[in-house]
Amino acid sequence: MAEAFLTRRSGFSAARHFHIPSMTGDEAERTYGHTGAHGHDYLIDLTIRGAIDPVTGMVENLDTMKEVLRREVADHLDAVFLNRDIPFFGKNAPTLENLALYVHRRLESRYGEALHAVALAEEEDYRVELRAGREEMYVTRTYRFCAGHRLHRPELSDEENRACFGKCNNPNGHGHNYRLEITVAGGVDERTGKVCRAGDLDDVARREVIDYLDHRNLNEDIEEFRDLNPTAENIARVAWERLGERPGGAALYRVRVYETDRNVADYYGR
């Protein structure tokens, strides 16, 4: 059946702390980073699916989506202290994952089968997503590095190289400010409220990819690119292979590389 997907963004700000009765202070620090009372601006993307109405040309009126987001999310969660004001977070750690589960449940009661995805971002570099029909939650962390490269293949003539790689074929090389997203997938641990510890994923990502590639000449300095063209696709693939199957403790799902804001490659290694 043909169908369309419609996404509407909304936001709210909420406060929380991580004092978990069954955890020592040290364990909580390791699990959550900052445990004291603090707040975040959250961004939510609600995606619904359905047939396009033949008269209005819409899946749903955006004003209705706006109203549902206001009633079910913003009015309910904006300017609250999650642990104290929302009973669910008296029992469950107020992690981004649990907040996404909570918001998803409220929106599901309104949309049922039409609810396709709920994505929630806590800051620019930390985002989780729940999708219809998938048990696992997707957790994405974003990192940045700078590196130089030259796209050039000896099998091709100089003219073919220029035609194929354009500016990236410049004989003396050039650089990019790369953005790299790592997405892992898994169930939310009942005790910690997390798919994996963000700090553990960050440690692996920095050691294996970011520190390894940052401020390098990819062609000259990086073993993997001795005979492999350092395109965004191949950078994503090398990152995938170096990260291993479960970086930080959850299954690797996708590596995404932005060479520029307008040029992005995704790699799925399985």
Q: Please tell me the distance from the alpha carbon of residue 241 to that of residue 204, in angstroms, as a whole number.
A: 12
Q: How far is the CB of 230 from Zn ion (least distance, A)?
A: 8
Smaller CB separation from Zn ion, 52 or 146: 146
Angstrom distances, CA of residue 113 to CA of 48, 66, 109, 252: 9, 19, 10, 28
Binding range to Zn ion, per CB under 5 A, among 34-42, 88-96, 133-141, 168-176: 168-176
Angstrom distances, CA of residue 172 to CA of 149, 222, 229: 9, 17, 15
Q: How far is the CB of 235 from Zn ion (least distance, A)?
A: 11
Contact 237, 269 (CB under 8 A): yes
Kindly name the residue from 40, 168, 176, 196 that is annotated as catalytic: 168
Contact flag: residue 168 with Zn ion (CB under 5 A):
yes
Contact flag: residue 213 with Zn ion (CB under 5 A):
no
The answer to whether 164 is a known catalytic residue is no
Contact flag: residue 147 with Zn ion (CB under 5 A):
no
Smaller CB separation from Zn ion, 6 or 168: 168
Q: Please tell me the distance from the alpha carbon of residue 12 to that of residue 75, in angstroms, as a whole number.
A: 9
3-state secondary structure of 224: helix
> From residue 82 to residue 101, what is the string marking binding to Zn ion with x (rule CB under 5 A)?
--------------------
> From residue 42 to residue 71, what is the string marking binding to Zn ion with x (rule CB under 5 A)?
------------------------------
Q: Please tell me the distance from the alpha carbon of residue 169 to that of residue 260, in angstroms, as a whole number.
A: 16
Smaller CB separation from Zn ion, 12 or 267: 267
Which residues are CB-contacts of 6 (< 8 A; sequence separation ≥ 6)?
Answer: 47, 48, 49, 50, 58, 59, 60, 62, 65
Alpha helix segments (H runs only) across the chain:
25-32, 62-69, 75-77, 82-85, 88-91, 96-111, 158-165, 198-205, 211-213, 218-221, 232-243
Kindly name the residue from 72, 97, 129, 259 that is annotated as catalytic: 259
Q: How far is the CB of 245 from Zn ion (least distance, A)?
A: 30
Residue with tokens 């590389």, as numbered in its chain: 257
Q: How far is the CB of 168 from Zn ion (least distance, A)?
A: 3
The answer to whether 168 is a known catalytic residue is yes
Contact flag: residue 257 with Zn ion (CB under 5 A):
no
Kindly name the residue from 160, 215, 220, 241 that is annotated as catalytic: 215
Minimal CB distance to Zn ion: which residue?
Answer: 168
Binding range to Zn ion, per CB under 5 A, among 63-71, 96-104, 163-171, 243-251: 163-171
What residues are annotated to the active site? 168, 215, 259
Binding site for Zn ion (CB under 5 A): 168
